[in-house]
Amino acid sequence: MANHSQFGFQDASSPIMEELVEFHDHALMVALAICSLVLYLLTLMLMEKLSSNTVDAQEVELVWTILPAIVLIMLALPSLQILYMMDEIDEPDLTLKAIGHQWYWTYEYTDFKDLSFDSYMLPTTELPLGNFRLLEVDHRIVIPMESPIRVIVTADDVLHSWAIPSLGVKTDAIPGRLNQTSFITTRPGIFYGQCSEICGANHSFMPIVVESTPLNNFESWSSHLSS
């Protein structure tokens, strides 16, 4: 959950988000090294006395041609690895279908015979004490922790986007098209997200809440809800 004046990412709660945070730090260090080098060279040029001597610069040209290529490779390889990891969905334990509407979500647990519900934002007047305004819903998504979850995302009317920052998930919901993503929660907890595509007047009132629980708690919840 994000805090006021928070400077960095939310705490990672999935392996993909951990990789994304690590890549962000890696790219930031590369950018810092480049800026430091450029600043040093600019300072050196300003402080040195002008010289009219002509110097053969073939070695310098070779360095400033090869060095950027090495930097790009250092950024491209981990980036491609994360892209492939995010795209790979291998034998999920649970499949969840998320359907975006104006302005609420419908969820269907396709592995169960009759388990689906609509999820609306709780208005401020009905919000229990201690819950988050504009982020709490009347029906949360409940999933088993440490289990591969596949989410199939679509929309019923206009473009939406199903996004949960702490899980590293953001998938567009497009009418007439099925997009899919996957994640694994590494710990129990409640994770908040919102629609991340401007979808109309109440776009900011489409929160997403995922509750990660141990497997036995999920089985008890699913059997109670489907009965």
- Give the pLDDT score at 50: 62
Return d(Cα 90, Cα 55) in angstroms, integer: 59
- Average confidence (pLDDT) over 74-100: 90
Which pLDDT score is estimated for 129?
Answer: 87
Candidate from 43-57, 146-160, 167-181 with smallest mean pLDDT: 43-57
Structure-model confidence comparison of residues 47 and 187, the more confident one? 187
What tens digit of pLDDT does each residue of 143-173 get? 999 999 999 999 999 999 999 999 999 999 9
Res 51: pLDDT: 56
Q: Report the top-level CATH class of 15-87.
A: mainly alpha
Read off the pLDDT of each residue in 46-59 and give the average, rounded to a whole number.
Answer: 65
DSSP letters, 23-91, are: HHHHHHHHHHHHHHHHHHHHHHHHHSPP-------HHHHHHHHHHHHHHHHHHHHHHHHHHHHHH---S
- pTM (2 decimals)? 0.83
Q: How confident is the model at residue 55 (pLDDT cuts 50, 70, 90)?
A: low
Task: Tell me, yes or no, if the two domains 15-87 and 94-226 fold the same way.
Answer: no
> Residue 56's pLDDT band (boundaries 50, 70, 90)?
low
Residue 54, pLDDT above cutoff 70: no
Quote the pLDDT of residue 35: 94
Angle at 87 between CA 86 and CA 91, to 5 degrees: 100
Q: What percentage of the chain carries pLDDT values higher than 90?
A: 62
Segment 119-140, tens digit of pLDDT? 999 998 888 888 889 999 999 9
**In the chain, where the domains are located:** 15-87, 94-226
Mean pLDDT of 92-110: 94
CATH superfamily of 94-226: Cupredoxins -  blue copper proteins (2.60.40.420)
